[in-house]
Amino acid sequence: MNNKSGQAQKFRLISQIFFTVISLYTGWLFITFVNSMKNGNYFQRPAGVEAFLPLSGLIGLKHWILSGHLNSIHPAATLYLLAFLLMALLLKKGFCSWVCPFGFLSEYLWKLGKKIFGKNITIPKFLDIPLRGIKYFVLLFFLWAILVNMGYSDLTYFIYSPYNKAVDIRMLLFFERISTFSFFTILSFVLLSIPIKNFWCRYLCPYGALLGFISIFSPMKVKRNTHKCTNCKLCTYECPANIEVHNLKTVRSDECNACFRCIDTCPINDTLTMKLGKKKISPLLYIILIFSIFLGFLLGGKVTGHWQNSIKPKEYHKIIKNIDSPKYFHR
pLDDT-based confidence at residue 40 (cuts at 50, 70, 90): confident
Cβ atoms of 245 and 251 within 8 Å: the answer is yes
Cα–Cα distance measured from residue 139 to residue 155, given in angstroms and rounded to the nearest whole number: 18
Domain boundaries, the chain: 7-31+46-329
Residue 2 has pLDDT above 80, yes or no: no
**What is the value of pTM for the model shown?**
0.94
First to last CA, the chain: 59
Please give the biggest Cα pair distance in the chain: 69
**If 0-12 CB within 10 Å is exposed, 13-18 middle and 19+ buried, where does residue 149 land?**
exposed
- What distance in Å separates the CA atoms of residue 292 and residue 91, rounded to the nearest whole number? 12
Q: Fill in the amino acid letter for 145.
A: A
pLDDT at 331: 59
At residue 326, the pLDDT reads 77
Residue 84: band (very low, low, confident or very high) from pLDDT cuts 50, 70, 90: very high
Q: Are 259 and 106 in contact (CB under 8 A)?
A: no
- What is the per-residue pLDDT for 3? 42
pLDDT tens digits for 93-148? 999 999 999 999 999 999 999 999 999 999 999 999 999 999 999 999 999 999 99
pLDDT digits (tens, 9 = 90+) for 160-219: 999 999 999 999 999 999 999 999 999 999 999 999 999 999 999 999 999 999 999 999
pLDDT at 88 over 80: yes
Distances, alpha carbon 240 to alpha carbons 41, 103, 106, 122, 259, in Å? 47, 12, 11, 10, 9
d(CA 172, CA 33): 11
Residues 247-306: tens digit of each pLDDT: 999 999 999 999 999 999 999 999 999 999 889 999 999 999 999 999 999 999 999 999
In this predicted structure, the answer to whether residue 1 has a pLDDT above a threshold of 70 is no
Pair 207, 57: CB distance under 8 Å: no
235 vs 1: which has the higher pLDDT: 235
Q: Is 316 exposed, middle or buried (0-12, 13-18, 19+ CB in 10 A)?
A: buried
Q: Is pLDDT of 322 > 90?
A: no
Check if the beta carbon of residue 77 is closer than 8 Å to that of residue 53: yes
